[in-house]
Amino acid sequence: MQSAFELTDDERIALMRIIQQSLGVQRHVDLFLWLQGEIQAFIPHDILIAAWGDFSLGLVHFDVTSALPGVRTVRIAGTGMTAFVRKLFNGWVQFNGNSFMLEMEHGFKVLEDGIAACPPSRALRDMKAAIVHGIKDERGRHDCLYICFSRTGFAQPKRQRHMVELLAPYLDTALRRIQHLPEQRPRVEPLFKLMPRSPEPCESLGLSMRELEIMEWVRKGKTNQEIGMILNISVFTVKNHLQRVFKKLDVLNRAQAVARTSQAALTERV
């Protein structure tokens, strides 16, 4: 009797083809075509939500891939979806990093009653099952969670969970090659509202716009890790920027840097 995880020769060939095709994913349209192709024989799904970021802080971004009308990344409602995927991520951690399946007879409810739902949230109400799996990033705290939703459920749940685990690294690699959509980039508030609204660096400080941007988040009490997540850069890069800021301002720490930049902002305003 064939094991649930055992593959036929044809399936092995198809799986190798899927892996090879994943290497060609460069754009969102490539990801869509790949996920709607042969991979559906191994992981049949109607919606795939990829969520990544720091789930402990709630700094999470999304990609939604589906052939259903209107179910797109650009139409996702961040607030309700963030709480939803954080619960699933915590569940995945509790399962020791193993995939798990959820079955919901009446669909998945993402938002509370009375809150307007985006098309992806409405579509999830028609989904009957989901397979959840993630990729942990211990170094950069840039964890990823992948949720495959099905309107009809999964005929071979153990096998399909295994396939999600098997193909998740290739999905993860493909997703990391795709550029962010404009809607996925964090919205940063105007830097130092007291400063002149000019695209040029503040002359009296000699700081670049990126350094001013980082200092604005420092002023708001964000840690290096949080700043890295907000600006989509590594913690190492944040530290390097701050070291240059300290040197330019001739200060020793964050508090002194904030005081120095705030003073300069008031002076220039006058």
Quote the number of domains for the chain. Answer: 2
Q: Are residues 180 and 213 in the same domain?
A: no
Residues 240 and 174 in one domain: no
Identify the residue with better confidence: 121 or 262: 121
Q: How confident is the model at residue 114 (pLDDT cuts 50, 70, 90)?
A: very low
Could you give the CA distance from residue 119 to residue 76 in angstroms, rounded to a whole number? 7
Task: Please give the pLDDT value at position 79.
Answer: 57
For residue 202, is it within any domain?
no
Residue 12 and residue 5: Cα distance in Å, rounded?
A: 11
The reply to whether 71 and 137 lie within a common domain is yes
Shared domain for 161 and 241, answered yes or no, is no
pLDDT of residue 192: 46
pLDDT of 194 above 80? no
Average pLDDT over residues 260-270: 64
Does one domain contain both 48 and 161? yes
Output the domain CATH number for residue 48. 3.30.450.40
Half-sphere exposure of 236 (CA within 13 A, CB side): 2
Single residue among 167, 184, 201 that ends a domain in this structure: 184
The verdict on 161 and 238 lying in the same domain is: no
Q: Which long-range contacts (CB under 8 A, 24 or more apart) does 244-247 make?
A: 244/211, 245/207, 245/211, 245/214, 245/215
How does the average pLDDT of the chain come out, rounded?
84
Bigger pLDDT: 192 vs 45: 45
The pTM of the full predicted model, rounded to 2 decimals, is: 0.71
DSSP lists the bridge partners of residue 62 as 51
Asked if the model's pLDDT at residue 180 lies above 90, the reply is no
Say whether both 84 and 153 belong to one domain.
yes
Q: Which of 184, 219, 245 is the last residue of a domain?
A: 184
Q: pLDDT for 14-55, tens place per residue?
A: 999 999 999 999 999 999 999 999 999 999 999 999 998 878
Give the type of residue at 144.
C
137 and 68, same structural domain? yes
Strand partners of residue 146: 50, 133
Same domain, 64 and 172: yes
Q: Is the pLDDT of residue 166 over 90?
A: yes
Task: Classify residue 194: in a domain, yes or no.
Answer: no
Q: Domain residues for 263?
A: 209-269
Residue 196 lies in a domain: no
Task: Say if residue 261's pLDDT is above 50.
Answer: yes
* Contact residues for 7 (Cβ-Cβ < 8 A; gap 6+): 15
Which of 19-33, 70-84, 136-150, 173-187 has the highest average model confidence (pLDDT)?
Answer: 19-33
